[in-house]
Structure 1
């Protein structure tokens, strides 16, 4: 789907920061909150790598409770940034929030706690209709695709909010990760440090953003989804076919030009499956990128943040353009969920609109 939709506000909460700006600055600076910690609640008490939000209760090991707090903080930041422009606003706003796929410590019923916390951030004039999407890593980018449809003229909503929230800091979840050898421990060659985060972005069609006087942070050009049938934790050899389909469709507007994408934001997290999947995509579509190996990920700073990854990457991408340290005016974002959902989005720096494709190399 080719679009001209703007990101007009963002919020984030992660182990390295409490706002979109502070999180992005910390990730860029290479600051990390990944530490070796013990979880006394687990029977096996050897220290493993974790990344925690230090402002939350250190004794709280319920993932749903931590997600509710993280999500409410990040969403409140977005609404606070929108407030000066929307003083006369009286409308319902869809909030499409990506959440984890079901796993030990997190069931579909737990989403109600997070949804309630997010809905409470709204007001009488700004009524939030929170729609959870329990689809994991790719859920926020899939939500972006739906948000783009909603804010189009046919969709009937001038404003939509897209986000993702996740926390692996649940005793049952951590035990499950350890059993599957996904939890990174000293001496391990693969695996990830379980983290937690929340991020949200507000999106509007370009005419509405101008009408409300909101400064765009990024332009959404395409949003795509696909399915992968050769899944992680199976014996099937994943050749990246699903992700290739999603990325290829996202890059379609650049076809037939000499334009290359300079920035890549992903959910690569230290697991071999994800790195190899992107490797196959790079082999097929590498000419579309200035450097297909230069892939940005928040994992080294924030730990693995699961369903929050796509939304956090949207925030990091937009902040890179706002602060003028991005490598160029185009960015590809992609996500890979364990159950097979693949999603991708092509974003551009606001000043580089479609009429200027190819003007900045």
Structure 2
């Protein structure tokens, strides 16, 4: 049985909202913002996706403009996306008079206790690398994100999890087992950033017939976003007088042998196992799950594995059961989808729009699966 993680704060940005409050309210209300882009498909029709206008994203700081070899257009966009969400989750206002340097955060934080040491690590889920292509997100991205946003994090203890949809759950489990419970740090920033607004990624999706264009297709609408939560322990909440937004009572991660690119049959074992681990390892008594924030994107692959996971764990779910899939409104935000859904669930349960507990799940193209159980504080 795991010790629950307290969610102290959230930060989000996506096509339907520039911050956590508006993002959660818009998604819960069913506000959709998927628009035509300047990119065309093979039929010369504009690609539709959920994306943010450039003018709402902060520009790169000057030192990153001088990085050699230069950043790709996708890496630049990810850094711009990550900035407002990171600054929001840590309650950061940038101190414009502070020096700019990779190990010199430019911040005034209203969230972290004064003089906190060590600073929280950043555990960041990101897009998976494409076969035969350089990695999109490496360990260098942590320092670049710190430089871009000026946030107070410990770069030496930070890690990237470039595994797409399920990366957030692996990062959250790392925060629990490797950071918070052993006492290496009292807080951790966990989240994800992703964007499909990239010519190569869109071309690959279209080649694989996964890019939703016109007609009836087994495909999805691409999206983008960034979302983070600040997690800590029950002990730290008491020590610093923190009133948590919610509690993460269980986390499960697993591997699907029959993933999208495997020659093995897809039986849905991975997600079913992740959900079982989440519910069986939950802290304390667990009421039936009443809300599911599902990593459904429009492709039948995810619908099949969710059906298997639900049937194998049926006794843990309430009837009626509410199922929400945020990608319907924002497009598929990739590695940012799970933390976005977590933020939406927290907001809805705290507003008493629905009672918990809630299950959040996601799965990646190469078989990684994950889920978590959420209770409001």
Q: Name which of structure 1's ranges 224-233 and 284-293 shifts more when overlaid on structure 2.
A: 284-293
SS of the equivalent of 1:311 reads: helix
Q: Where does the alignment leave 5 or more consecutive residues of structure 1 unmatched?
A: 351-361
Aligned position for 1:65: 76
Q: Where does the alignment leave 5 or more consecutive residues of structure 2 unmatched?
A: 58-70, 93-108
- State the distance in 2 between where 1:205 and 1:154 align: 11
| Native 8 Å contact 1:106 1:173 kept in 2 | no
- State the distance in 2 between where 1:138 and 1:63 align: 20
- State the distance in 2 between where 1:112 and 1:103 align: 17
| Native 8 Å contact 1:8 1:201 kept in 2 | yes
SS of the equivalent of 1:8 reads: strand
Superposition deviation, residue 222 in structure 1 = 1.3
- State the distance in 1 between where 2:321 and 2:361 align: 14
Query: Given the alignment of the two structures, is residue 307 of structure 1 paired with residue 306 of structure 2, yes or no?
Result: no
Aligned position for 1:118: 145
Query: Given the alignment of the two structures, is residue 248 of structure 1 paired with residue 247 of structure 2, yes or no?
Result: no
Q: Cα gap change, 1:88/1:113 in structure 2, threshold over 3 Å: closer, same or farther?
A: closer
Aligned position for 1:39: 39
- State the distance in 1 between where 2:72 and 2:337 align: 21
- Across the aligned residues of Structure 1 and Structure 2, the Cα RMSD in angstroms comes to 2.7
- How does the TM-score come out when normalised to structure 2? 0.84
Aligned position for 1:79: 90
Aligned position for 1:23: 23
| Native 8 Å contact 2:253 2:368 kept in 1 | yes
| Native 8 Å contact 2:249 2:283 kept in 1 | no
Query: Given the alignment of the two structures, is residue 107 of structure 1 paired with residue 127 of structure 2, yes or no?
Result: no
SS of the equivalent of 1:92 reads: coil
Match runs of 1:225-264 below 5 Å = 225-234=253-262, 236-252=264-280, 259-264=287-292
Deviations 1:40-68 (A, max 9, x none): 5x66521232111124589x993222111
SS of the equivalent of 2:10 reads: strand
Superposition deviation, residue 112 in structure 1 = 5.3
Aligned position for 1:320: 348
Q: Name which of structure 1's ranges 112-121 and 90-99 shifts more when overlaid on structure 2.
A: 112-121
Superposition deviation, residue 91 in structure 1 = 2.5
Q: Cα gap change, 1:316/1:108 in structure 2, threshold over 3 Å: closer, same or farther?
A: same
Q: Cα gap change, 1:65/1:126 in structure 2, threshold over 3 Å: closer, same or farther?
A: closer
Aligned position for 1:331: 358
- State the distance in 1 between where 2:55 and 2:220 align: 21
- State the distance in 1 between where 2:274 and 2:301 align: 17
Match runs of 1:261-276 below 5 Å = 261-276=289-304
Q: Cα gap change, 1:126/1:294 in structure 2, threshold over 3 Å: closer, same or farther?
A: closer
- State the distance in 2 between where 1:38 and 1:104 align: 26
- State the distance in 1 between where 2:84 and 2:220 align: 25
Deviations 1:4-32 (A, max 9, x none): 22000110010111111110011011111
- State the distance in 2 between where 1:56 and 1:267 align: 29
- State the distance in 1 between where 2:55 and 2:203 align: 21
- State the distance in 1 between where 2:285 and 2:79 align: 45
| Native 8 Å contact 2:291 2:321 kept in 1 | no
- How does the TM-score come out when normalised to structure 1? 0.87
| Native 8 Å contact 2:122 2:154 kept in 1 | no
Say which of 207, 231, 237 aligns to 1:179: 207
Q: Name which of structure 1's ranges 225-234 and 156-165 shifts more when overlaid on structure 2.
A: 225-234
